Structure 1
Amino acid sequence: MRPPVVSNPLARYLLRRLGVSALLIVGVTLVTFVLTNLVPGDPVAANLGQRAAENPATVAAYRAHYGLDRPLPVQYATYLGNLVRGDLGESQQTHRPVLTDLQSAVPATLEIAIGAIVLSVLIGVGFGVIAAVRRGQLTDSALRVVSLVGISVPTFWLALVAFYVFSFQLDLAPGSGRLAPATTAPPHVTGLYTLDALLAGEWETFGDALAHLTLPTLVLTLYTVGLLTRFTRSAVLEVLEQDYVRSARAKGLPGRTVLFRYVLRAAMVPILTVVGLAFGALLSGTVLVEEIFAWPGLGSYAYQAASHLDLPAVMGVGLFVGIIYLVINLVVDLLYGVIDPRVRIS
């Protein structure tokens, strides 16, 4: 019998994307595995110290425990076999399952990334639309300067300045961490302290978590706002020059109707692409900001794993980042058809 054919175009598209995504995930694990093993250095010395690395018995026991005494192809095949069962291995640094470490680190990064992308979209898209509508005016020039500053200023330098000014000098924001030392973490539900505190009704904990969240979120927001402002301005200006926009204005439609019903809807397709990429970059590229604010997120975990040549942890971070980008790209592609009727899955 012939296998059943999926007639729904959307279902066929999703099945095709899932198959491609599975192959891409395998490719991500292979590239991460090869590059990590090409880095010069000894994971035994990096994790146990030079004295322990000089003890042959200790080195042999360590390599046997983590499977480092096997050939590289066997190590990779073993990792893939464990991955199918949901086992990402044991971290050589924390001696805990990598999945457990990720369940602790990912929510911390999500908390600042979600806040940063929401603020960036609201501010950046708004600024970009205003700059495009008032092209050539003083407002346009001012917003372009702001966006240029946001893109040009290094994020780590901005984080250091913000930490020094607002935490050390003015004492307007907490110094580091997700909570004050005297504050107990709320009951774990999502791992996002602000949301978990709200769900538990712990208002003091919510206020403390929000205060710690504010400064790193604003630092990450500034760069993304600059990026979205410049890109939104370009996208809106391109649509404003289209014939159907001129026709809508010639018919006497109000400027607000033309802007929101015709211009923004067409311009949102490329803007949505940049938003998706920016969100993925926030999730995977917050290493320096997290280190400065002592934020125990994915960036700090990846940095510590790479510093200690912790192969299972590095593989786990690479796999998570790869999945994040695949999911974001899939969601963005599906939203194309919702926003723009010209984009349909055939």
Structure 2
Amino acid sequence: MLVLLAATFIVYVLTALSGDPLQDLREQNTPQAVSQMAARSAALHLDLPIPVRYFSWLGGVFQGDLGVNRDGNSVAALLGGAMTATLQLVIVATVLGAVIGITIGIISALRQYSTFDHGITFIAFVCFSLPVFWVATMLKQFAAIEFNDWLRDPYIPNVIIAIVSVFAGAVWASIYNGPRKGKLIAFGIGLGVTAVILYALSVTRWFADPGLGFPFILVVSLLVAAGLTALIAGLENLQPMYASLAAAGVGALLYYPLQSMLNDPSVLTLLGLLALTVAVSAGLGWQIGGLLRRQAMPLAIISGVFTGALIFMDRFLGAWDGYAAMVHGRIVSTIGSQTPNFQGDFWQTSLDSSMHLLLPTMALILVGLASHSRYSRASMLEVMNQDYVRTARAKGLPERTVVVKHAFRNGLIPITTIVAGDFAGVVGGAVITEQVFGWRGLGSMFSVGLKNVDPMPVMGFFLVAGTAVVVMNMLADIAYAYLDPRIRLS
């Protein structure tokens, strides 16, 4: 708390000394300039010394009053709207970046010094070296403008299919840890499956009016349920597998009965369906899991929620064609957090928000991917060389059990610090990203306040950013106790 108070004082003083808040009015030759300068001086208390102004602001903060900006607008109201926009960006980018980066880092550690490991290392350092404004500009050009033009006739050239298929085959071959013959088989399967999928998407013009459909949802949900259960619980006892498959199957079979309810749902309806999904999946895990119900219930819940997410995504994509007509084919947006004066049903509105969120999220993920993947790789390698891991292997435990139950949990402890710090940093550091993509979030509020020598919006921004750092560090400490019982006992 003392650090936060000291930091707010320093930032307030630096902002107040950064320029003349009356400069724009002094340059005017209108009769109203004198009265406007007097009004702004009174609003910003420019007649008082800077330390007195700071303590006046601090007293207002403890009373819930964040003051007004130089135009007389409430900073609290501005902060509320800016936080809504920024949190949408921060939460999605941080969660996806952490999940993708940690997954890649762990696979890279388990395949140390393999082709996959070297490739990921190269890509990670390239992403780490790229400035975010350059990444954002390239995404606007190629992932928005060029992609929107391509959507007019979404045909995938055979050359692109061949290049992407070879790349996909090489990735799967590098992930496979086995003899050369197995790598060649993995390469062939990855190449063939990717080529067939891309060719089918091109021939059917899937991108013109995308969707998933019941067969896809049923097959994918069952495959993911089986794969996830085999990875976490293994195949020694099949009760968790049966529970997970039952939750996925029941969820998929509700595809058609739920269609009428999902025509134009509210957020409350979706939350209710989510709660019902969790309850039913937990019940299936309890009933089918038997003596292993403590292991079966979480797996069944994950499988049920994943199946529900696929159904949600299918309805989400179903609004694609109508939304494209409403925005004149410019699906991927390059500026702002929403289309001005846009009106549509729930799915069209959600699609509009998602398309505005896509590019800035991708920019933040690409820039942060390097740190997540490298830290998770280093942490996993350190844990895999510990004595208790070697002991678990010497006892004859399967490699899956050694990695998932012994190494992974302990490897997450240092990564927790990185993720918490990244979340707090993005809350206060998405200034450049918001500027490039025209988001009116906390970053825009900070830059405008600093440019106008207006301390109140800057302090509102810093108060949120500083509080985020404190809160995320506290949550990281709580997560340590969950991951390592020794910390909890001490």
What's the TM-score bracket when you normalise by the shorter of the two chains? 0.7 to 0.9
Kept in 1: contact 2:137–2:436 (CA 8 A): yes
Partner of 1:147: 124
Q: CA deviation at 1:182?
A: 4.2
- CA offsets 1:185-233 (integer angstroms, 9 cap, x no match): x9xxxxxxxxxxxxxx711101111111111111111111211000000
Partner of 1:74: 52
Q: Determine the C-alpha separation between the residues in 1 that align with 2:104 and 2:425.
A: 21
Change (3 A) 1:27 1:53: farther
Q: Does 1:65 align with 2:224?
A: no
Partner of 1:138: 115
TM-score, with normalisation over the residues of structure 2? 0.60
Q: Which runs of 5+ in 2 are unaligned?
A: 149-330
Q: Determine the C-alpha separation between the residues in 2 that align with 1:262 and 1:303.
A: 46
My pick for the range that moved more, 271-280 or 50-59, is 50-59
Q: Determine the C-alpha separation between the residues in 1 that align with 2:83 and 2:36.
A: 33
Partner of 2:91: 114
My pick for the range that moved more, 58-67 or 282-291, is 58-67
My pick for the range that moved more, 71-80 or 217-226, is 71-80
Q: Determine the C-alpha separation between the residues in 2 that align with 1:53 and 1:228.
A: 55
Change (3 A) 1:49 1:153: farther
1:91 to 61, 64, 69: 69
Partner of 1:45: 23
Q: Determine the C-alpha separation between the residues in 1 that align with 2:29 and 2:64.
A: 32
Q: Determine the C-alpha separation between the residues in 2 that align with 1:65 and 1:112.
A: 33
SS at match of 1:43: coil
Q: CA deviation at 1:338?
A: 0.7
Partner of 1:160: 137
Kept in 2: contact 1:45–1:53 (CA 8 A): no
Q: Does 1:246 align with 2:397?
A: no
Partner of 1:27: 6
Change (3 A) 1:105 1:345: farther
Partner of 1:102: 79
1:139-218 maps to which residues of 2 (within 5 A)? 139-171=116-148, 173-184=332-343, 202-218=346-362
- CA offsets 1:156-204 (integer angstroms, 9 cap, x no match): 10000110112223326212112223414x9xxxxxxxxxxxxxx7111
1:182-331 maps to which residues of 2 (within 5 A)? 182-184=341-343, 202-331=346-475
Aligned residue pairs total: 307
Q: CA deviation at 1:344?
A: 2.4
Kept in 2: contact 1:90–1:98 (CA 8 A): yes
Q: Which runs of 5+ in 1 are unaligned?
A: 1-20, 187-200
Kept in 2: contact 1:178–1:213 (CA 8 A): yes
Partner of 2:296: none
Q: Does 1:126 align with 2:103?
A: yes
- CA offsets 1:123-150 (integer angstroms, 9 cap, x no match): 1000000110110110111111121122
Q: CA deviation at 1:345?
A: 6.3
One-letter amino acid matched to 1:285: G
Identity of aligned residues (%): 36
SS at match of 1:342: helix
Partner of 2:257: none
TM-score, with normalisation over the residues of structure 1? 0.84
Kept in 1: contact 2:16–2:454 (CA 8 A): no
Q: CA deviation at 1:106?
A: 0.8
Kept in 2: contact 1:44–1:59 (CA 8 A): yes
- CA offsets 1:29-71 (integer angstroms, 9 cap, x no match): 21211221232x210115x462169955543332123211112
One-letter amino acid matched to 1:177: G
Q: CA deviation at 1:278?
A: 0.8
- Superposed CA RMSD: 1.9
Q: Determine the C-alpha separation between the residues in 2 that align with 1:50 and 1:37.
A: 20
Q: Determine the C-alpha separation between the residues in 2 that align with 1:286 and 1:153.
A: 15
Q: Determine the C-alpha separation between the residues in 2 that align with 1:345 and 1:248.
A: 24
- CA offsets 1:256-283 (integer angstroms, 9 cap, x no match): 1111111111111100000011111111
- CA offsets 1:8-29 (integer angstroms, 9 cap, x no match): xxxxxxxxxxxxx3x3332232
Kept in 1: contact 2:86–2:441 (CA 8 A): yes
Q: Determine the C-alpha separation between the residues in 1 that align with 2:415 and 2:63.
A: 38
Q: Determine the C-alpha separation between the residues in 2 that align with 1:27 and 1:272.
A: 27
Q: Determine the C-alpha separation between the residues in 2 that align with 1:309 and 1:62.
A: 12
